[in-house]
Chains A and B, each alone.
Chain A
Amino acid sequence: MAAASSTSERTLIAPTEMTRRTGRILYRFVLGSTLVGFTIAFVFPLYWMASGALKSSSELADPNPTLLPKSLHPEAYSEAWSSVGIGHYFLNTLILAFGALLFQLVVDVSAAYALSKLRPVLGNVVLGMMLATLMLPVSALLVPTYLTVVDVPLVHLNLINSPWAVWLPAAANAFNIFILKRFFDQIPTELLDSARIDGAGTLRVLVSVVLPLSRPVLAVVSIFAVVGVWKDFLWPMLVLPDPARRPITVALNALSEDMPANQLLAGMVMASIPLLVLFLVFQRHIIAGLTAGSLKG
């Protein structure tokens, strides 16, 4: 029935095999079990987390868990937010994420613009050196980058406990520069030249010609910037040791032993919501960026 519409897109199983009686039964069985299996495996844990935060502490500790909370205790959310200070840590994360986003956009967009359209002498060498860092495992640089943040060379600043320790290293992002440059490369030079003839300067060309054409790639870079910082754990744990400056991920781990279980769950839900909302809104961009990233080269 429905198979008729899919004849244009031929896959492993032939349409005729699908429409046969055994094929139809098999298809429905696989479809049903996949739908149920995925829901249990990937959606149910989220439900369990969110509903657990609504249960009372005694109900949570009960060795016989209940599917629906016996009585609702939404106050765990407000207690976690204000008295445990999850709200404060949430704000810390927001500051880290949006600062990193801003730095990545400004630094990486202008670098990619220079490499793609202004093409300075040795530009390709610089690009190659930037891309080479992509091949390096992050963990191999953990210690020396940490020591660099403790004492920034030449200027001798200590960035520990400062958001700059997250913002600045995040901006040195070769992957962003790579996908931005690839996108800028496709913008016809004639467009930039005609803007120049109309009297636009180099910066003006970037702002009013290149950027408006680059919205999709800017969306991808922005989403990944925010998601990356939001999910990060080890780096902020190292460079922001002051408990008051912790982002929510580090705070949750540090507090997980002492917090009442329902408040911890509420905190976990609150740490996840922004990313889940981001995903639901920008699914298309995220998936596009994902495949662009994996198929680079």
Chain B
Amino acid sequence: MTAQDLSPAPVLTSHDTTKATKTPAAPGRLARRIRENLVAYLFLGAGVVLFAAFSWYPIVRGVLLGFQQVTFAEPARWVGLDNFRRLFDDPLFLTAWKNTGYFTLLALVFGFAAPFFTAVVLNELRHGRAYLRMTVYLPVMLPPIVTMLLWRWFYDPGPGLFNKALGVFHLPALQWLESENLAMISLVLVSTWANMGTTTLIYLAALGGIPGELYEAAELDGASVRQRLWHVTLPQMRFILMITLLLQVIGTMQVFVEPFVLTGGGPNDATVTVLLLLYRYAFVYNDFGLASAMSTLLFVVLGLFAGVYLRLTRTKG
């Protein structure tokens, strides 16, 4: 013990070994190890139980459910690939995937460019930064349901602000949520507004970490502002851009509240998304097997992205 007190001791080393050497007698050491482990698992226990019940067990069960017919009335019955066959027979299934892909693509176009551009501009500004940083994050703090109800009001063809704003510029009013072509874009606009604060602040933090000498060197080489942006900022941000890209794909593929509250999947199924359909299967038709088959597929698709994410973060760390 005194040896330990004297040594400066690095902060992050494992201390198991030093503890073990303190008690040389073998039987005593074993008893002590057992007691220490018991105490440790006493602290860890609640977490393990809750993870087992609400995370690990549902993971296994979710996969199994996809191959079962589940009703509340009778015990689950094994039906093999039936659920998957029924999924592919449902014309809405393909529509939902197409719509979700379209939403994700649009969300990337808006949701990727807007925060990056915003963060680059904010990083250059020397005034009002605290205010700007705060305002861009305000929508993130609103409960999503409030955001949706608020925007439903803005999109309203009657007293809605958006058509009024268009009218000011003598532009024709739009059928924001009622037109098949526009509905999905309207959903993406809400989603981008609500979520861009997070990405902007992450980019802002990353931009702050770029060494100023790089810009100075590029400037001495005669690089214009645009060239510096392209050859210094972007490469320096590449890792964080990749990460947020993947996280955004994973997040937007699970879009639910937007279509659920604003369009209910309409008009004419133009905004039925994977998760909205999954919700209908499970909680409207009570077909948990079919819904689980759907989540298994969603999991496989998102798992690919998650795998890339893992690889990226691993190689970096």
Contact = CB atoms under 8 A, between A and B. Distances in A.
Contacts of B198: 290, 294
A279 B137 contact: yes
A188 B56 CA distance: 32
Contact of B201 (A238, A291, A296): A291
B124 A126 contact: no
Nearest to B274: A139
A51 B212 CA distance: 45
Nearest to B125: A31
Contacts, number: 307
Contacts of A137: 250, 253-254, 298-299, 302, 306
Chain B, interface size category, equals 35 or more
Contact of A133 (B9, B59, B150): B59
Nearest to A106: B46
Contact of A185 (B12, B61, B121): B12
Contacts of A13: 124, 225
A258 interface: no
B204 to A, nearest CB: 9
Chain A, interface size category, equals 35 or more
A80 interface: no
Given A136-B59, A137-B302, A142-B282, A190 B4 contact: yes
Given A118-B43, A146-B282, A278 B128 contact: no
B123 interface: yes
Contacts of A141: 55, 58-59, 62, 295
A291 B243 CA distance: 13
A39 interface: yes
Contacts of B123: 11-12
B79 interface: no
Determine chain A's interface SS by DSSP, over half rule. helix
B136 interface: yes
A133 B55 contact: yes
Interface string B23-41: 0000000000000110111
Interface of A: 2-3, 5-6, 9-14, 17, 27, 30-31, 34-35, 38-39, 41-43, 45-46, 48-49, 52, 60-65, 106-108, 110-111, 113-115, 118-121, 123, 126, 129-130, 133, 135-150, 152-153, 168-169, 171-172, 174, 177, 185-186, 188-190, 193-194, 197, 202, 206, 227, 230-231, 233-234, 238, 248-250, 252-253, 256, 261, 264, 268, 271-272, 275-276, 278-280, 283, 286-287, 290-291, 294-297
7 contacts: A11-B215, A34-B125, A110-B47, A272-B143, A278-B141, A291-B205, A297-B313
Interface of B: 1, 4-5, 9, 11-12, 14-16, 36-37, 39-41, 43-44, 46-48, 50-51, 53-59, 61-62, 65, 70, 72, 120-128, 131-139, 141-146, 148-150, 153-154, 158-159, 161, 164, 193, 198, 201-202, 205, 207, 210, 212-213, 215-216, 219, 225, 228-229, 232-233, 240, 243-244, 247, 250, 253-254, 256-257, 260-261, 275, 278-279, 282-283, 288, 291-292, 295-296, 298-299, 302-303, 306, 309-310, 313-314, 316-317
